[in-house]
Amino acid sequence: MVTEKNKHNEIVKAESKDLNFFYADGTQALKKINLPVYENKITALIGPSGCGKSTFLRSFNRMHDLYPGNKYEGEIILYPDNTNILDKKVDPIEVRMRISMVFQKPNPFPKSIFENVAYGLRVRGESNKRMLDDKVEDALKGASLWNEVKDRLHDLAFNLSGGQQQRLCIARALATEPEIMLFDEPTSALDPIATVNIEELMSELKKKLSILIVTHNMQQAARISDYTAYMYLGELVEHDDTNKIFTNPSKKETEDYITGKFG
């Protein structure tokens, strides 16, 4: 078993290798993307709308498989077992059980708070009441929502505020103890206070897992991420330490985007 490390001695958790992606209508949305995701780090994807950052993120849990005609080329290798999660022989459901996702808009199920968090466990066949109770509590604590909802676990999730709903979705993704968590612009539908909560939560979460986040908000990327990748027109322009990207990018295009000359 090979464990790849970078210059800072950080472990690579997953890595895309020459990843191309084509939508059903034939448009190529990703072009030869090579990008590592480090363990216990936050990697942020930035770039203008339509640059392919969400498409890239959604490749990590094979979301594109839900719509017929979409096509991947290249690999995404998940370590330590060296599985190419894009391989046709790998069941997308298995991938989703290891890599969970939080969406742009809070999308709780119209079920109770408890059932929302427990759902991922239930599809894994967990039915022991005690076990479910414990894991739901842990996940809600992990998403710092427990104190707010512990007395009304069986209320409908729709009754929560937007920020609470998004933390519930994080708890739902967390309950199954994933190795990587994907965030697709998780705060774009939230107010500033809820945004701060989620950002703090992510910094807490990275102690346990690896995070890949798409964000529209450059300040957010600068605040929370360890690594930043700038994408443009389906290509990865630059990938580096967040500090380096925001203070001294090596490419002119990155600098133009960061400084707002373009975008």
Partner 1 sequence: MALNKKKLSALNDLQTIREMIKRHKKNDLAFAALGMFVIASLTITLIVLFLDLVLDGYPKFTLDFFGNFPSRRAARAGILSAWVGSSLVLIVTFFVAVPLGIAAGVYLEEYSKKNWFADIIEINVSNLAGVPSIIYGLLALGLFVYSFGLGQSILTAGLTLALLMLPIVIVSTREAIRAIPVHIREAAYAVGATKWQVVINHIVQYSYGGILTGVIIGMARAIGETAPLITIGALTFIAFLPPSPVTIEPPFLNLEWLNAGFTVLPIQMFNWISRPQHAFHINAAATGAVIIILTALMNGAAIKLRYNIRKKIKW
Partner 2 sequence: MSEPIISARLSKNFRRNIMERFIEFSLLCSAAFAVFITSAIVYVLVSEAIPFFQHVSIYEFLTDTVWTPNYSIKHYGILPLVSGTLTTTFIALIVAVPLGTITAIYLSEFATHKVRETIKPILELLVGVPTVVFGYFALMLVTPMLQKIYPDLTTFNMLGPGIVMGVMIVPYIASLAEDSMRAVPMAMREGAYAMGATRFQTSIRVITPAAISGIVAAYILAISRAVGETMIVAIAAGQQPNFTFNPVESAATITSYIVSVALGDLEHGGIGYQSIFAAGLTLLVMTLLLNILGHMTRKKFAERY
Residues binding partner 2 (CB under 8 A): 1, 81-82, 91, 93-94
Closest C-alpha among 87, 69, 68 to residue 77: 87
DSSP letter string, 127-196 = --HHHHHHHHHHHHHHTT-HHHHTT-TTSBGGGS-HHHHHHHHHHHHHTT--SEEEEESTTTTS-HHHHH
Q: Which two tokens stand for residue 215?
A: 């964000």
Radius of gyration for the chain, computed over Cα atoms and rounded to the nearest angstrom: 18
Which of the listed partners (partner 2, partner 1, none) does 1 bind, with a CB threshold of 5 to 8 Å by partner kind? partner 2
The CB-of-4 to partner 2 minimum distance in angstroms stands at 15
Question: Distances in Å between the alpha carbon of 10 and those of 15, 51, 177, 180, 260?
Answer: 13, 28, 21, 15, 31
Determine if 110 is a binding residue for partner 1 (CB under 8 A): yes
The CB-of-91 to partner 2 minimum distance in angstroms stands at 5
Nearer residue to partner 2 within complex by CB, 49 or 82: 82
Nearer residue to partner 1 within complex by CB, 51 or 95: 95
The CB-of-38 to partner 2 minimum distance in angstroms stands at 22
Rounded CA separation 18/138 (Å)? 38
Please answer whether residues 21 and 71 qualify as being in contact, where contact means their C-beta atoms are separated by less than 8 angstroms.
yes
Residues 28-67 that bind partner 1 (CB under 8 A): 61, 63, 66
Nearer residue to partner 2 within complex by CB, 57 or 95: 95
Q: Which one of residues 17, 31, 84, 109 is an interface residue with partner 1 (CB under 8 A)? A: 109
Which of the listed partners (partner 2, partner 1, none) does 81 bind, with a CB threshold of 5 to 8 Å by partner kind? partner 2
Interface ranges with partner 1 (CB under 8 A): 61, 63, 66, 68, 93-94, 96-97, 100-101, 103, 105, 107-110, 119-120, 122-124, 169, 172-173, 176
